[in-house]
Amino acid sequence: MKHFNDPMPFSPKAVQAFEPGGDLSGQQSELNFLAARIAEHYRSDFLTPRLVTGFWRGVEGALLALGGFLLLAGHVGIRTPFLTSYILMIIVGAGLGVVAIGAFGGYRMSVLRGSMSQLWRPAIAWALAIVTMAAALFFIYGDVVHSRLFLGGWAVSGVCALSIGRLILRSRIRHWARNGRMERRAVIVGGGKNAEGLIRNLERQPDSDIRICGIFDDRDDRRSPPIVAGYPKLGTISELVTFARKARIDMLIVTLPLSAEQRLLALLKQLWVLPLDIRLSAHSSELKFRPRSYSFIGQIPLIDVFDRPLADWDWIAKRIFDIVVASLAIIALSPVFILTALAVRLDSPGPVLFRQKRHGFNNQTIEVFKFRSLYHHMSDPDAKQIVTKGDKRVTRVGNFIRKSSLDELPQLFNVLRGELSLVGPRPHAVHAQSSQNETFTAIVDGYFGRHKVKPGITGWAQIKGWRGEIDQPEKLKKRYEHDLYYIENWSLLLDIYILIMTPISLVSKTEGAY
Residue 350's Cβ-count burial label (10 Å; 0-12, 13-18, 19+) is: middle
Average pLDDT, the chain: 82
Q: Please say whether the dihedral angle defined by the alpha carbons of residues 444, 449, 455 and 460, taken in this order, is positive or negative.
A: negative
Going by C-alpha positions, the residue among 343, 349, 331 that lies closest to residue 402 is: 343
Cβ count within 10 A of residue 172: 16
Q: How would residue 326 be classed by pLDDT, with cut points 50, 70 and 90?
A: very high
Q: With 60 as the cut, is the pLDDT of residue 474 above it?
A: yes
Q: At what angle do helices 148-178 and 49-71 cross, to 10 degrees?
A: 150
- Residue 14 is predicted with a pLDDT of 45
In the chain, where the domains are located: 12-46+183-306, 50-178, 313-508
Percent of the chain with pLDDT over 90: 29
Supply the pLDDT for residue 19: 41
Q: How far apart are CA 318 and CA 311, in angstroms?
A: 10
Confidence (pTM): 0.77
- Domain spanning 12-46+183-306 has what CATH number? 3.40.50.20
2 pLDDT above the threshold of 80: no
In angstroms, the Cα distances linking 151 to 142, 143, 221, 364, 429 are 15, 12, 68, 55, 62
Q: What confidence score (pLDDT) does residue 77 get?
A: 82
Residue 9: Cβ-neighbour burial (10 angstroms; 0-12, 13-18, 19+): middle
| DSSP state letter for 429 | B
Distances (CA, A) of 269 to 9, 22, 188, 263, 407: 14, 8, 17, 10, 36
pLDDT single digits (tens) 485-505: 999 899 999 999 999 999 888
Instruction: Express each pLDDT in 3-61 by its tens digit.
Output: 333 333 444 444 444 443 444 444 567 888 898 899 888 888 777 788 888 899 999 99
Which pLDDT score is estimated for 297? 74
Calculate ∠ Cα 423-268-427, nearest 5°: 25
Greatest mean pLDDT among 118-132, 254-268, 283-297, 374-388 lies in 118-132
Chain center to CA of 53 = 17
Count CA atoms within 13 Å of residue 331 on its CB side.
Answer: 6
